[in-house]
Structure 1
């Protein structure tokens, strides 16, 4: 790929990176705002599972609004005080950590739903779901702010006072042993293993129940088929999370365990933007694989289009039949 006249090759890579990140940010914000809107509009989606999905969507919105702009700023080498740069880097960790904890909460919720279907509604109430969402965010803040209380690179900068300015880079302030041992092994690998185990058990239980058709009622058969479809969709979300997030963590591991190994800056950029693009993929999974979500999204789009068409002609009104149909569906 040839660079433009007057632009150095490295600057050209930076421009491409910023452009891609901006597009991902817009897609993430728009898509996940629609997720929240769909759940607010469709009352049948206001269950405990979708409470966790909304929490995940809020985290993904924060990725588009905060994480990606901060990542761009940090990549440009802005000069700040050490703890200012450290706090900005911790914000990235907090928001991304909330995503995996929300996914873990969803997996636990689906496991309980198929494992104890008769007692599920009494055990997993809306109040407890909201408490679980709050707990996920509190835990995200606690784990993400660990570098602020000492596990950082301040000691590596000799003769550096709190008032001195540094070139703000993520790896300048965040220690790699924190990213590898604590963040990756402790708060990414372990939750992923738990989620994979839970979804494997979910599919095993559902398949076993569906194989007992002679003993099961028609309602029971429909229940487990519905759970199977939803479990497939949500497990796909987990799979995409792993695929998108593993590259940047693998790069961190290479940098930590093999400091002499050379990793091109372009490869690091690819790893970063893959971790961010995950936030834009989740709404697509919901839209294409969850029927109620898909139908409600289409209805919202149609209503928005009808409103725009009605704006130039105030006298234009929606027919009672159409209005009544929309009210019933939504």
Structure 2
């Protein structure tokens, strides 16, 4: 092969790669970051301006979820120059900080989803007791503990690991902002368990339990209706759920005395789990495949793609949580029409 063709061919390939990056970033990545920021900002504004939303303590978890997802959009925006140029130009220390923020934001998003599922379970298990014990202060304490736990654990892991592996003195690794979690099997397994497998199992078990409880409740109600030939016979727990729904109007989970709407809500929560798995599973499949097949040497394009899919979960969350609430939707429509209240 003619050497002159090789030398002339290299610049052409190098020019194609930046062009492809520009297209992907401008068409997909950056618009997604903006969408995540706008959607979740709407959630924050709606919570602040509408007393009906603030009256329901469960919506405080949705507020916390929106804060975590906004942080995800900020991290994505900071990564834009890396995706455009293929290099990290902000130094090793700031790279470690970005890893901390990135993983803290995604961890908090996952932990909040688990907290919302726990709240649903407690509401269905015993509505009156849950309402009497739940408060905004308690939710704020729970969310604060989650934030401090995620931030402290991620900071400890990132700075300790980068120090032990000499990341801050390795210009090549700093140039691509790769701390190297994927090259350590113990770290990879711990992250897989804490970030994905355990939360997924918890959400699945809680939602499945909610579904069967509501199904049994509906069966009991139908039995009573058939026995007494009444158009509607409502148990104490169902009355509590019906009364609660008038105040909370929360994701259609407490609106029907018969329990049929509860079952629809339980099936809807199963959709949340499906979305979570589809967004997170490709990331860990790629991490495991890279470790066992290529000894931790990453395919940067594939890594960016699965990371983008993972972050996409933060764009879907507002549709799954806040946008299903009638009070949130009213505020969102007013925001889009630029109408004040």
**Does the alignment reach a TM-score above 0.5?**
yes
| Contact 1:52 1:106 survives alignment (8 Å) | yes
Q: In the superposition, relative to structure 1, how do residues 234 and 43 fare at CA in structure 2: closer, same or farther (>3 Å)?
A: farther
After the TM superposition, which of the residue ranges 292-301 and 116-125 deviates more from structure 2? 292-301
1:101 aligns with 2:111: yes
Q: In the superposition, relative to structure 1, how do residues 70 and 183 fare at CA in structure 2: closer, same or farther (>3 Å)?
A: farther
Q: Distance in 1 between matches of 2:67 and 2:274?
A: 20
Pairing of 1:1-330 with structure 2 (within 5 A): 8-19=15-26, 20-46=28-54, 47-65=56-74, 67-75=75-83, 76-152=86-162, 154-155=164-165, 161=169, 167-177=174-184, 180-213=188-221, 214=224, 216-217=234-235, 219=239, 222-223=256-257, 224-259=259-294, 264-286=299-321, 289-302=324-337, 304-305=338-339
Superposition deviation, residue 30 in structure 1 = 0.6
Unaligned stretches of 5+ residues in structure 2? 1-11, 225-232, 243-255
Aligned length: 298
Q: In the superposition, relative to structure 1, how do residues 107 and 72 fare at CA in structure 2: closer, same or farther (>3 Å)?
A: same
Unaligned stretches of 5+ residues in structure 1? 308-325
> Hey, which bits of structure 1, 4+ residues long, moved more than 6 A?
none
- What is the RMSD computed on CA atoms of the aligned residues? 2.9
Superposition deviation, residue 116 in structure 1 = 1.5
Q: What SS does the corresponding residue of 1:216 show, helix, strand or coil?
A: coil
Q: What SS does the corresponding residue of 2:294 show, helix, strand or coil?
A: coil
After superposition, the C-alpha distances for 1:155-191 in whole angstroms (9 at most, x for unaligned) are 366xx749x6853434344454365212222232111
Higher RCO (CA-CA < 8 Å; seq separation 6+): 1
Superposition deviation, residue 21 in structure 1 = 1.4
TM-score under structure 1 length normalisation: 0.79
| Contact 1:153 1:175 survives alignment (8 Å) | no
Q: In the superposition, relative to structure 1, how do residues 236 and 200 fare at CA in structure 2: closer, same or farther (>3 Å)?
A: same
Select the structure that is richer in helix: 2
| Contact 1:154 1:173 survives alignment (8 Å) | no
Q: Distance in 2 between matches of 1:179 and 1:249?
A: 12
TM-score under structure 2 length normalisation: 0.76
| Contact 2:58 2:119 survives alignment (8 Å) | yes
| Contact 1:153 1:172 survives alignment (8 Å) | no
